[in-house]
Chains A and B, each alone.
Chain A
Amino acid sequence: MSKLTEQHNYKGTLVCVEGIDGSGKSTQLALLRDWLKSTGHDVIFTEWNSSELISQTTKLAKKKNMLSPRTFSLLHAVDFADRLKQVIDPALKAGFIVLADRYAYTAFARDVARGVDPQWVRNVYNFAIKPDLAIYFDINPQDAMERICSNRAPKFYEAGMDLKLSNDPYESYIIFQSRVINEYQKMVDEFGLVKLDAMDSIHSKQVRIREMLKSVLNNKGVNI
């Protein structure tokens, strides 16, 4: 039984943004955070692969191309578990609005795109708390690549070079990220991710997100 499919009972509110790099999710989350702070709400922010326990190890291992799909998956799960228990869970208990840049869905998308069994990785993360609002920024891989690779080549794991899909990092990136996007799209129904078009303007997306969050908070009896 996974907690990811059950509504949580915490006082706080959990919001996450999902999508491949270049989909604009971090921009939107930063805008949301500033707004919530300016309106006097208790907000904390947490991002993927940032735990004190393991994130440096994972980054180093990525640099050295040491990771298999399985160890890639497990190290990110360590990071997530650490942040969930140390940051997210206590903050939700204390009534914070927790803003997460990427959540378990990132693992489901990337790891499965790497060939990890979908049910296996879902079981690994079955301790994850279900977000009150999970937004997925949908973009096609060409547009994302244009945004992030204007001044650099795609990175090894970002391009899925570990899968040996192509020797050309740009081509590999497109193939790999298409798979990731495909997994995200499946999760729109499976987990109720709210899909937004990443190509819409920054303003119009932010308006939609604030509306959705307001309604979530109002349902919890929080006025905003």
Chain B
Amino acid sequence: MTQFKTKHGYEGLLIVIEGTDGSGKSTQLQLLKKSIQAQSYGVIISEWKTSRLIANVIDDAKERNLLNATTYSLLYAADFADRLENTIIPALKSGFIVLLDRYYYTALARDVVRGQDIEWVKNLYDYAPEPDLVFYLDMPVDVLLKRIIGTTGLNYYESGRDVGFSSDFYKSFEIYQNKCLEQYERMKSEYNFISIDGTKSIDEIHSIMNHEVQKILDSGVLY
């Protein structure tokens, strides 16, 4: 077997699950974490917008509708930088498997839909290490809509109401998520996403992901 090398040069592994809201990312991350832990590897999960530095500022600013497209991008970039430097990279250096709920692809999709220049957004994240695996949960908008309405309900920014596509919540969500999906679609080949049909059962999706992760683990990269 050929020796696998991590793409970022750190000892650990960086594994990302991407997808729009309601695509089942968190569920899959938890399952993946369990199955990897069961094999005695060190695992941590880090989620989008959870930095100690700035996450609550973003929530507060969103609540008060204080954000424009540029400050929206930059705040998320600051959150990402803080988590990257304080959580993700230290864990990778110590040989952990880092499971990420969203990565900068999320910013690329959302910021571009908000009208930012893609090169400008790419520059914001150009120092971020390349993941070893990126899973993308591909979901049709109508399924997404049902899931979100049935769970958390439609929120202002997730529906892209700030962009002004439509004053109707449902319509706005549909347009916004469709535009996000277009961006993800475009990134699939650019960033080697392993695209998985998100309408498959939880177990089926897990077994696909697990299989890919296992291939890397079996290469002995973490020994």
Q: How far is the CA of A68 from the CA of B81 in the complex (A)?
A: 9
Which positions 54-72 of chain B face chain A at CB distance < 8 Å? 54, 57, 61, 66-68, 70-71
Q: How far is the CA of A104 from the CA of B222 in the complex (A)?
A: 44
Q: Are B85 and A71 in contact (CB under 8 A)?
A: yes
Total contacting residues, chain B, CB less than 8 A? 22
- The residues of B that contact A85 with a CB separation of less than 8 Å are 68, 70-71
Q: How far is the CA of A67 from the CA of B86 in the complex (A)?
A: 10
Q: Are B78 and A78 in contact (CB under 8 A)?
A: yes
Q: Are B71 and A74 in contact (CB under 8 A)?
A: no
Q: Does A61 count as interface, using CB distance less than 8 angstroms?
A: yes
Q: Are A68 and B85 in contact (CB under 8 A)?
A: yes
**Nearest A residue (CB) for B52:** A66
Q: Are B78 and A53 in contact (CB under 8 A)?
A: no
Q: How far is the CA of A46 from the CA of B82 in the complex (A)?
A: 27
Give 1 or 0 for each of B23-54: 1 = CB within 8 Å of chain A CB: 00000000000000000000000000000111
Give 1 or 0 for each of B96-133: 1 = CB within 8 Å of chain A CB: 00000000000000000000000010011011000000
Centre residue among A77, A84, A126 by max chain B CB count within 10 A: A77
Q: How far is the CA of A101 from the CA of B191 in the complex (A)?
A: 42
Q: Are A52 and B85 in contact (CB under 8 A)?
A: no
Q: Are B66 and A70 in contact (CB under 8 A)?
A: no
Q: Does A123 count as interface, using CB distance less than 8 angstroms?
A: yes
What does DSSP make chain A's interface, helix, strand, loop or mixed? helix
Q: Are B53 and A66 in contact (CB under 8 A)?
A: yes
- The residues of A that contact B74 with a CB separation of less than 8 Å are 74, 77-78, 81, 124
- The residues of B that contact A27 with a CB separation of less than 8 Å are none
**Nearest A residue (CB) for B75:** A78
Q: How far is the CA of A80 from the CA of B198 in the complex (A)?
A: 40
Q: How far is the CA of A85 from the CA of B54 in the complex (A)?
A: 21
**Nearest A residue (CB) for B117:** A126
Beyond A53-B61, A57-B54, A75-B78, whether A70 also contacts B127 by CB under 8 A is yes
Q: Does B194 count as interface, using CB distance less than 8 angstroms?
A: no
Which of A53, A61, A67, A126 makes the CB contact (< 8 A) with B66?
A53
Which of B53, B71, B120 makes the CB contact (< 8 A) with A53?
B71
Give 1 or 0 for each of B144-169: 1 = CB within 8 Å of chain A CB: 00000000000000000000000000
Q: Are B120 and A74 in contact (CB under 8 A)?
A: no
Q: Are A81 and B68 in contact (CB under 8 A)?
A: yes
Beyond A53-B61, A81-B70, A81-B71, whether A71 also contacts B78 by CB under 8 A is yes
Q: Show the binding face of A for B, using Cβ within 8 Å.
A: 52-54, 57, 61, 66-68, 70-71, 74-75, 77-78, 81-82, 84-86, 120, 123-124, 126-127
A sample of 7 inter-chain contacts (CB < 8 A) reads A71-B82, A78-B75, A81-B74, A82-B66, A82-B68, A123-B123, A127-B120
Closest 9 pairs (CB-CB, A-B) = A74-B78, A123-B123, A81-B70, A78-B74, A70-B81, A81-B71, A71-B81, A85-B68, A68-B85
In the complex, given contacts A67-B53, A85-B68, A124-B124, what are 7 additional A-B residue pairs having Cβ atoms less than 8 angstroms apart? Answer: A54-B71, A61-B53, A68-B81, A70-B85, A71-B53, A81-B68, A120-B127
